[in-house]
Chain A
Amino acid sequence: MKTSLYTALQRKIILITLVVSFAPLVLLGGIIYYQFARMYGLKLEEQSLYRAMSQAEAVDLFLKERTAILGAMADTHSYRDLTSEKNLSLLFQVMNLRAGAFVDLGVINNAGQHIGYVGPYDLKGLNYYQQPWFGEVMSKGTYISDVYMGFRQLPHFIIAVRRQEGENSWILRATIDSDAFGAIVRAAQVGRTGDAFIINGEGFYQTRPRFEGTILSPSGLDPSLFGGRATVIEKKDDKGKTVLYAGSWLKNDKWLLVISQDLAEEMTGLFATRNAAIFLILLGITAIVLAAVFTSRLTVGRLKESDDKMNALNAQLMQSDKLAAIGKMATGVAHEINNPLASILQRTGWMQDLLEKEEFRKSENFDEYQTSITKIEEHVERARKVVHNMLGYARKMEPRVEDVDVNATVNQTIDILENFARINNIDIQTDLGQDLPIIAGDQAQLQQVFLNLISNAIDAIGKDGLVVVKSLCSGDEIHVGIADNGPGIPEDLQRKVFDPFFSTKQSGKGTGLGLWISYNIIEKMGGNITLSSKPGAGTTFTVKIPVVIPEKK
């Protein structure tokens, strides 16, 4: 019951400590991590966006450059010049020398007829009139196509410019090297999982992506999600990975350059930081738990200790209170008993006096009367002794003060009892400390106490046994222990042994006052008597006497 109370208290202390210290720790850690992660994410998005935008600019520049070169070439040469195979070839060489990335070059007349062509494919003579781009370039002047297969059945795209030469209008058309173009785009790929590619307005790849998919296959991205000039979106792919896509429009918003990054890879730095933080917090929590358990155990232990001390003190206080009250009562009772005893004694005395007379002596029952009177007097004497014993020691209010050698007193007491012990085959052994100081006290009273305790020990054993008397000096107290190996005192009786008239001896053999008187004597000296007993193993009474150094005479 009591123990569970302490356990509950300890639990409460631990709980409060933990809650109070965990809450801020976890909250702080959580908030800092959350803010850090958010900023990290923002930074990441910003970076991707920036990369996408700058790469889109580079690609745009590439396209504009090629268009400009093509336009300049068309504007500076006449239709006639370029229909010459030789001139066109020269021009193609010059253009590739200065800019590169042109695969072939062709001249198309206003009927869509491929008039002149320089390149690896045999495209001369083909008619483009039906191709959708032909109409567009004729109406708008310049045209950059999406990637398509075309006649050659290879993915490519073309740049075409129209030249109005008087009444005649013709088209200079060039194919751009997909590999060279793709290389520019792929320059923006970073990390193990980062990708960079271009998709058209319908979401088809315009350059080869790094991992899955080919040119002209659907990318799975919806370009309408990317509004404005540049946007970042997050998307989960079919494998459950979160991928960050940064897209930037180019080529008059026809193409979208996309930079993709696997968030998990980008976040590894953050995750490492997070794991370190979690580890540190866990370490802190462990330390706090240990500290809380340790300190609470210490606190509760101290509390329990002081409680125990307090309880022991209370018990002692109650004991001495009780004995004092009983002592007072006994004094009153003694008077009330002694008066009738006195009257009885006088009455019997009177009868005795009368029996002396001649006429009674002749009575046949004279002896009977005589015996009865003697018996009555004997019993009055017995009662008187009980009362006087009880008061005899309480009466000694002012004990004499003399130099007392405790060990010598013990030895004297044992001398008195030795014979009695030997008859009952009981051995009395001593283990007396040699460093006991001489104290100021009443030797007769002290001897009375030892006599009571040792003779009690002998009585408790009955026959065949051992009594050990130990003495030692502990701090400012002398401890004298009297241990027997008798049957012990049951626990329920242990509290009662110091009560007056409590005796386990046969009625008439003990007054039940010995321990009570002993207790009173020692208490008046400022000490106390305690007992420890184990039924079956024996009893030890310990007398604690404060050391009072005698005054120098």
Chain B
Amino acid sequence: MDYFRALVVDDEQEFLETLVNRLGKRSIDTTGVRSGEEALELMKKKLFDVVVLDIRMPGGMDGIEALREMKRIQPLAEVILLTGHASVETSIEGMKLGAFDYLLKPVKLEELLTKMAQAFEKKNTHDQKIRSARIRELMRFPGRVLEEEKDREK
């Protein structure tokens, strides 16, 4: 599996720590945070490929709300939803908002890894598409791309 960066958001300390450890052991650059707010804060500073988000966290930001913000900050990051109970409505809403998939807790690591790999695959394809599009554009209209770069820096 390719090296990629993952963010795990879960209010369960035990779960979070262990999962981060185990993912790290499988050469995934994993960061764990315990709330939606922390996750968003972090995402503003650092790019992630895959986010694993617990939909239901008591107190603080609602999982769906966090998902919406994440998609705004990093549209390309793929989000896998985790849910402790079978709330199909929430999951469907999550999918509509662009989540990659959802998994039921407790989930086996192998299952999660497979999903994460698929998500990363998708993100990668997206990235590559965008990259090649930009390269094509750069080759055709170098000036415009440069202007855009300048605009963004402003």
Contacts and interface: CB of A to CB of B under 8 A. Distances in A.
B27 interface: no
A345 B108 CA distance: 7
Nearest to A347: B18
B127 interface: no
Given A341-B106, A343-B12, A388-B104, A334 B86 contact: yes
Given A339-B15, A391-B85, A395-B88, A344 B106 contact: yes
Interface in A242-294: none
Of listed B14, B85, B87, residue having the most chain A CB within 10 A: B85
Contacts of B88: 395-397
Given A339-B12, A345-B106, A353 B22 contact: yes
Contact of A342 (B21, B25, B86, B106): B106
B107 interface: yes
Interface in B76-115: 84-89, 104-109
Interface in A302-355: 331-332, 334-336, 338-339, 341-347, 349-350, 353
Nearest to A336: B84
Contacts of B25: 353
15 contacts: A332-B85, A334-B85, A338-B105, A341-B105, A342-B15, A342-B107, A344-B106, A345-B107, A346-B109, A349-B108, A350-B21, A353-B21, A394-B86, A395-B86, A396-B88
Contact of B85 (A338, A344, A346): A338
Given A353-B25, A384-B106, A395-B87, 16 more contacts: A332-B85, A335-B85, A338-B84, A338-B104, A338-B106, A342-B12, A342-B15, A343-B12, A343-B18, A345-B106, A346-B14, A346-B19, A346-B109, A353-B21, A388-B86, A397-B89
B56 interface: yes
Contacts of B12: 339, 342-343
Contacts of A394: 86
A30 interface: no
Contacts of B56: 335
Given A338-B106, A342-B105, A344-B106, A349 B85 contact: no
Interface residues of A, number: 26
Contacts of A391: 85-86
A380 interface: yes
A353 B18 CA distance: 11
B15 to A, nearest CB: 4
A335 B19 CA distance: 18
Contacts of B19: 346
Using C-beta atoms within 8 Å of the partner chain, give the interface range for chain B. Answer: 20 to 34
Of listed B14, B19, B84, B104, residue having the most chain A CB within 10 A: B84
Contacts of A125: none
B103 to A, nearest CB: 10
Of listed B87, B88, B89, B104, residue having the most chain A CB within 10 A: B104
Interface in B1-49: 12, 14-15, 18-19, 21-22, 25
B105 to A, nearest CB: 4
A213 interface: no
A350 B15 contact: no
B14 A347 contact: yes
Contacts of A395: 86-88
B109 A335 contact: no
A536 interface: no
A376 to B, nearest CB: 12
B133 to A, nearest CB: 39
A344 B107 CA distance: 11
A392 interface: yes
B13 to A, nearest CB: 9
B101 to A, nearest CB: 16
Of listed B14, B25, B84, B106, residue having the most chain A CB within 10 A: B106
B84 A346 contact: no
B110 to A, nearest CB: 9
Which are the 5 A-B pairs with shortest beta-carbon distances? A342-B106, A346-B18, A395-B86, A391-B86, A335-B84
Contacts of A336: 84
Of listed A331, A334, A344, A392, residue having the most chain B CB within 10 A: A334
B53 to A, nearest CB: 14
A380 B106 contact: yes
A334 B15 contact: no
A397 B88 CA distance: 8
A342 B86 CA distance: 15
Contacts of B84: 334-336, 338-339, 342
A382 to B, nearest CB: 12
Contacts of A341: 105-106
A334 B85 CA distance: 6
A353 B87 CA distance: 32
Interface in A444-501: none
A344 B12 CA distance: 11
Contacts of B106: 338, 341-345, 380, 384
Contacts of A388: 86, 104
A75 B54 CA distance: 158
B85 A350 contact: no
Nearest to A392: B86
A334 B87 CA distance: 11
Contacts of A350: 18, 21-22
Contact of A349 (B14, B22, B87, B104): B22
B112 to A, nearest CB: 10
Nearest to B82: A342
Nearest to B109: A349
Nearest to A390: B86
A347 B85 CA distance: 20
Nearest to A345: B106
B18 A349 contact: yes
B87 to A, nearest CB: 8
Contacts of A335: 56, 84-85
A343 B14 contact: yes
